[in-house]
Amino acid sequence: MQLDTGSIVRTRTLTAVADGAPVAVPDPGLLVHLQFRRFAGCPICHLHLRSVLRRHAEIEAAGIREVVVFHSGADELREHVADLPFAVVADPRKRLYAEFGVESSYRALLSARAWRAIAVGTLDILRGRAKPPTLVQDGGRLGLPADFLIAPDGRVLAAGYGVHADDQWPVEKLLTLAAEARTVLA
């Protein structure tokens, strides 16, 4: 069941794969951008997270905490995300995916945009800028992305469910949603 704007997310503490630090969702003092990505080494996810990384200072300045969830195990994920300055969480059993209504579908790869992102991401792998994924993914390769902006009180301020593998919020949309949310929360 997918979440809508206004849904309430229960308080939980997740664990960051890089350092084992606790990650509060919702965060009592910040907006949380909860991203659901695909699998460790996904070339599309890698490309998207690079765009988030480039503008991370802006995102933090807007009062947003990035939390990124992958359906890979922590050990596999750690080697792909160790250098990211935001929390990355492993959910190999896809419990959070189910709770937030994030699905997998053959549609994940039925988009020219997804294939362009795969091509660019694969070039990054070939150039040594990214590590390749393992051949077999326990959670599959047909995951769809999703994005949520969550208020400190747990309210979902915005929700976006991808219709293909490269259908996630660009940073500009995230910043706009956060600015709109600040007006509502004030």
| pLDDT score for 141 | 60
Instruction: Give the angle 9-12-14 at the CA atoms, nearest 5°.
Output: 120
Output the six-digit token pair for 10: 């229960």
- Distance from chain centroid for Cα 92: 14
pTM for the predicted model, two decimal places: 0.88
Query: Residue 15 is inside which H or E element, if any?
Result: strand 12-15
Q: What is the pLDDT along the chain (186 residues), one digit of tens a residue?
A: 899 999 999 999 999 999 999 999 999 999 999 999 988 888 888 888 989 999 999 999 999 999 999 999 999 899 888 889 999 999 999 999 999 999 877 666 676 767 777 787 788 778 877 776 666 666 666 788 999 999 999 999 999 999 988 899 999 999 999 999 988 776
Closest CA to 105 of 73, 146, 140, 147: 140
As beta bridge partners, residue 104 has 143
Would you give the DSSP letter of residue 107? G
Strands (E), 5-71: 12-15, 22-25, 31-36, 64-70
Ordered by where they begin, the domains of the chain are: 12-180 (3.40.30.10)
